[in-house]
Chain A
Amino acid sequence: MTRSRPGGPALSRRRMLAGTAALLGGAFAAPALTGCTAAGAASGITNLSYWHLLSGGDGITMATLVAEVEKELGDLAVDQTVLAWGAPYYTKLAMAAAGGRAPDIAIMHASRVTGWAPGGLLDPWDLDLLAEFDITEDTFKPRIWEKGFTDGKLYSVALDSHPFIMFFNTEVADDAGVLASDGKLIETSTPDEFLDMALEMQKVTGQHGLSWGYLNDGAQLWRLFYTFYKQHGADMVLETGKPAQFDEDAAIESLEYMTKLVDGTVAAKNSDINNGIAEFAGGKSGLLFSGVWELRTMQDAGIPFDATTIPTLFGTPAVYADSHAFVLPHQSNPDETKRRAAYEFMSTLLKDSIEWAGAGHIPAYLPVIEDPAYDDLIPQAHYANAADLINYDPPAWFTGSGSDFQNYFLDAIQGVMLGGTTPEAGFSSFIARINTLLSKPNPVTV
């Protein structure tokens, strides 16, 4: 349908040259850049600039997917720009969007979109045009689809959900007598049952029962905390102009339990996540709390393992997760051809996203996970239920993956884990910090 649309010639090269010239000549060459976007000879190739923060194994998988989509569509050339996860990526994307000369399409964490959309950094997706490319509400799990909406407009379309889950070493579990006959872990539904199971595994490995790490890592700390917190059925509401609303008992109980886990026997007293990953991959522990993105590492380690959602220890099934989601960063003068190409690119990529599941993530596009091929993916199929239970960060302009919010949590809570601070004092200093932020005007919109 869009095959014969006029596009620019091989712009990427010219654009790169112009970019280099701009660098060399300071700001003087800048007008040359704008000259490129309007060019339109009849070679029929549309160039799409695409920014994302997927590096390592994820980056390789994404590059393969992009190449496949390019081949499938034939008339699309995608320039990928990969930037480092976290603040470096988000500051650059924000500035590009604030200047109105952003990439044609980009990936953001769904949890960050809430903060960005009201500030005009993102352009909304057109639901009718999405439907034309087979992307509709019923092709996503409700929690994931709804997360894309701000003020009634859809700003992000999820590629995946990547929950915080539990890996387990099947051999260790078997030796410890905690493997049920169906190959799954025995069910643990209270905090103590889980501790007992981990201790049984510790006896087998002689080192630790559980691997996890939190040193200098607000993300890991927050993911586990929020999993336990949400398992209490508790909520956290952060509204600018009001103090944070939260359930203190649930928070303290979650933190106390986390300190129990890092007692030096169940899990290492002071470990960063890399130690934890190395420990589990070396067979020195039976369990690992981490994100699904560690799947490849574990497969490469060659240990016998499986994965599952973190057991429900506090009554309510809940999983912490985030999604990589496609957004349209704000452009002052969007090129209609490119906009349409962005829709087509995303739709094709979503339909091919079974490959993305190979990296551990749960594809968000339902036709992919409903395909029988997905059930053959083990252990991915064993934690696919997480997609129904996921909880994103509490929405606020400062929350989300790679945000300062997680650093504030680290600042306040690391001392609790290390034993110098009480959970009560740690959590109240975290809330004090958050309340300060909430008391100031939201700088995204001002």
Chain B
Amino acid sequence: MTATAQNVLSDTGATARSSHPGKPRETLTGWGFIAPFGILFILFMLVPIFWGIYLSFTNQSLTGAGGDFIGVANYAEALGDPDMWRSMLNTVWFTILSTVPLVVIALALALLVNTGLPGQWLWRLSFFMPYLLASTVVSLIWVWLYNPQLGLFNAILGWFGVDPVTWLQDPDLAMLSVVVTTVWWTIGFNFLLYLAALQNIPDTQYEAASLDGAGPWRTLFSITIPQLGPTTAMVIVLQLLASLKVFDQIYQMTGGGPAGTTRSAIQYIFESGFTGFRFGYSSAISYIFFILIIIVSVIQFRITARRSA
């Protein structure tokens, strides 16, 4: 549409307006409609992205000092920085730990609700409601639940004579505890996507299956799950990207501790740039992280593309 309008303009010059009434104006209107988004996109996405690439080659400080071009020194330092690798690995570990249950459990919940349990709205509401909470609220609630002295979980364990567990302070448990919180908090979204997809599977297929004598398990594996394929692919992509970006709940629940075992990549970027003042270095880490995300996405697309081909 844009191309046509431009051709028209260049072909007929100034007469375009009269010979094709409305077309340039339409183009203008079109641009007008996307302008609010376009301007914000340029200001807050494109400019920062390219500015960030530039910063990553400088020793720019948050205080305004520095700003000298230092080549790839930041990247070299980052690649040799154990804290950076650790935060990347933590992020990947969190992503693996959280994505699997967030897909599998969401599917299980959706299937259960879709079997026609009475009080569907109640199930839907209770599985989805946590998703509506702000991360701060979720973190506060769960920090109390996990509290070693007064928390609910340790109180329950106490009834069975189990010693208090330091859920968020034990290096072996902290990440798992955060994952449990995250699953509880965000499962509602995947659950809803699955539920909608389930309700879109035509009844005729189930009728045909039952006429052929397929039992419930056979139906599940031969009809329901294959029919959910595209949804599963989408849920996994969205979930991977969401999990890789984890920051809020970790920052609020453990602050990245204990001993850095839950510090995520985004948190390390934040810390090196905003509290550590090193904007240049922080930009370099964020581009390394960006590359990591691209790699994950490409692998993901390859797999789904092959499956659907």
Query: Is B259 within 8 A of A95, CB to CB?
Result: no
A 220-243 binary contact with B (CB < 8 Å = 1; else 0): 000000000000000000000000
Cβ 8 A contact of B275, one of A216, A404, A412 = A404
In the complex, chain A residues whose CB is within 8 Å of the CB of B169: 215-216, 270, 414, 418
Query: Is A444 within 8 A of B168, CB to CB?
Result: no
In the complex, chain A residues whose CB is within 8 Å of the CB of B54: none
**A268 is an interface residue with CB less than 8 A from chain B:** yes
In the complex, what's the smallest C-beta–C-beta distance from A9 to chain B, in angstroms?
Answer: 32
- Contacting B at CB under 8 A, from A257-285, are 268-272, 275
Query: Is B274 within 8 A of A443, CB to CB?
Result: no
**A411 is an interface residue with CB less than 8 A from chain B:** yes
**B278 is an interface residue with CB less than 8 A from chain A:** yes
In the complex, chain B residues whose CB is within 8 Å of the CB of A420: 170-171
**A26 is an interface residue with CB less than 8 A from chain B:** yes
Query: Is A398 within 8 A of B149, CB to CB?
Result: no
In the complex, chain A residues whose CB is within 8 Å of the CB of B171: 415, 420
**A445 is an interface residue with CB less than 8 A from chain B:** yes
CA distance A116 to B59 in the complex (A): 17
CA distance A214 to B13 in the complex (A): 76
CA distance A420 to B166 in the complex (A): 12
In the complex, chain A residues whose CB is within 8 Å of the CB of B150: 275
With A119-B61, A404-B271: A94-B259 Cβ-Cβ less than 8 Å: no
- Contacting A at CB under 8 A, from B34-61, are 39-40, 43, 59, 61
* With A97-B63, A443-B65 already in contact, 14 other A-B pairs whose C-beta atoms are closer than 8 Å: A98-B64, A120-B65, A216-B169, A269-B164, A397-B277, A404-B275, A404-B276, A407-B255, A411-B258, A414-B169, A414-B258, A415-B258, A443-B66, A445-B61
A-B contact pairs, 24 of them (CB 8 A): A91-B62, A91-B274, A91-B275, A94-B62, A94-B63, A94-B277, A98-B62, A119-B277, A215-B169, A216-B168, A216-B257, A270-B149, A275-B149, A404-B275, A414-B257, A415-B259, A418-B166, A420-B170, A420-B171, A443-B63, A443-B66, A444-B63, A446-B61, A446-B66
The DSSP consensus for interface residues of chain B is loop
**A150 is an interface residue with CB less than 8 A from chain B:** no
In the complex, chain A residues whose CB is within 8 Å of the CB of B255: 216, 407, 410
In the complex, chain A residues whose CB is within 8 Å of the CB of B66: 443, 446
Query: Is B277 within 8 A of A270, CB to CB?
Result: no
In the complex, chain B residues whose CB is within 8 Å of the CB of A90: 275
**A403 is an interface residue with CB less than 8 A from chain B:** yes
In the complex, chain B residues whose CB is within 8 Å of the CB of A216: 168-169, 254-255, 257
Query: Is B257 within 8 A of A443, CB to CB?
Result: no
Query: Is A26 within 8 A of B39, CB to CB?
Result: yes
With A216-B169, A216-B254, A407-B256: A95-B65 Cβ-Cβ less than 8 Å: no
CA distance A121 to B260 in the complex (A): 30
**A87 is an interface residue with CB less than 8 A from chain B:** yes
For the complex, count residues of A whose C-beta is within 8 A of B. Answer: 40
**A27 is an interface residue with CB less than 8 A from chain B:** yes
With A215-B166, A215-B169, A411-B260: A272-B147 Cβ-Cβ less than 8 Å: yes
CA distance A407 to B251 in the complex (A): 12
Query: B residues bordering A, Cβ < 8 Å?
Result: 39-40, 43, 59, 61-66, 68, 147-150, 164, 166, 168-171, 254-260, 271, 274-278, 281
Measured CB to CB, the nearest residue on chain B to A115 is B277
In the complex, what's the smallest C-beta–C-beta distance from B135 to chain A, in angstroms?
Answer: 15
A 405-446 binary contact with B (CB < 8 Å = 1; else 0): 001001110110010100000000100000000000101111
Cβ 8 A contact of A268, one of B149, B256, B275, B276 = B149
In the complex, chain A residues whose CB is within 8 Å of the CB of B39: 26
- Contacting B at CB under 8 A, from A308-334, are none
A 74-109 binary contact with B (CB < 8 Å = 1; else 0): 000000000000010011001101110000000000
CA distance A398 to B272 in the complex (A): 11
**How many Cβ-Cβ contacts under 8 Å join chain A to chain B?**
106
Query: Is B277 within 8 A of A444, CB to CB?
Result: yes
With A275-B149, A404-B275: A120-B256 Cβ-Cβ less than 8 Å: no
Query: Is A443 within 8 A of B170, CB to CB?
Result: no
CA distance A417 to B64 in the complex (A): 39
CA distance A206 to B61 in the complex (A): 54
Query: Is B63 within 8 A of A120, CB to CB?
Result: yes
In the complex, chain B residues whose CB is within 8 Å of the CB of A275: 147, 149-150
CA distance A411 to B65 in the complex (A): 29
Measured CB to CB, the nearest residue on chain B to A426 is B259
CA distance A98 to B271 in the complex (A): 18
Considering the complex of A and B, which 7 residue pairs feature the smallest CB-CB distances, nearest first? A446-B66, A119-B63, A443-B277, A98-B64, A91-B274, A443-B278, A443-B61
CA distance A19 to B260 in the complex (A): 39
CA distance A445 to B271 in the complex (A): 18
Cβ 8 A contact of B59, one of A91, A418, A446 = A446
CA distance A116 to B277 in the complex (A): 10
Tell me which of B39, B68, B148, B254 has the highest count of chain A C-beta atoms within 10 A of its own C-beta: B148
Query: Is A27 within 8 A of B43, CB to CB?
Result: yes
Cβ 8 A contact of B64, one of A27, A120, A398, A429 = A120
Query: Is A119 within 8 A of B65, CB to CB?
Result: yes
CA distance A67 to B257 in the complex (A): 41
CA distance A213 to B197 in the complex (A): 49
In the complex, what's the smallest C-beta–C-beta distance from B43 to chain A, in angstroms?
Answer: 7
Query: Is A271 within 8 A of B149, CB to CB?
Result: yes
Measured CB to CB, the nearest residue on chain B to A270 is B148
In the complex, chain B residues whose CB is within 8 Å of the CB of A418: 166, 169-170
Query: Is A414 within 8 A of B271, CB to CB?
Result: no
In the complex, what's the smallest C-beta–C-beta distance from A116 to chain B, in angstroms?
Answer: 8
CA distance A415 to B166 in the complex (A): 11
CA distance A216 to B66 in the complex (A): 34
Query: Is B40 within 8 A of A26, CB to CB?
Result: yes
CA distance A212 to B150 in the complex (A): 15
In the complex, what's the smallest C-beta–C-beta distance from A433 to chain B, in angstroms?
Answer: 8
In the complex, chain A residues whose CB is within 8 Å of the CB of B278: 443
CA distance A429 to B259 in the complex (A): 10
CA distance A94 to B278 in the complex (A): 12
Query: Is A270 within 8 A of B166, CB to CB?
Result: yes
In the complex, chain A residues whose CB is within 8 Å of the CB of B148: 215, 270-271
In the complex, chain B residues whose CB is within 8 Å of the CB of A116: 63
Query: Is A270 within 8 A of B63, CB to CB?
Result: no
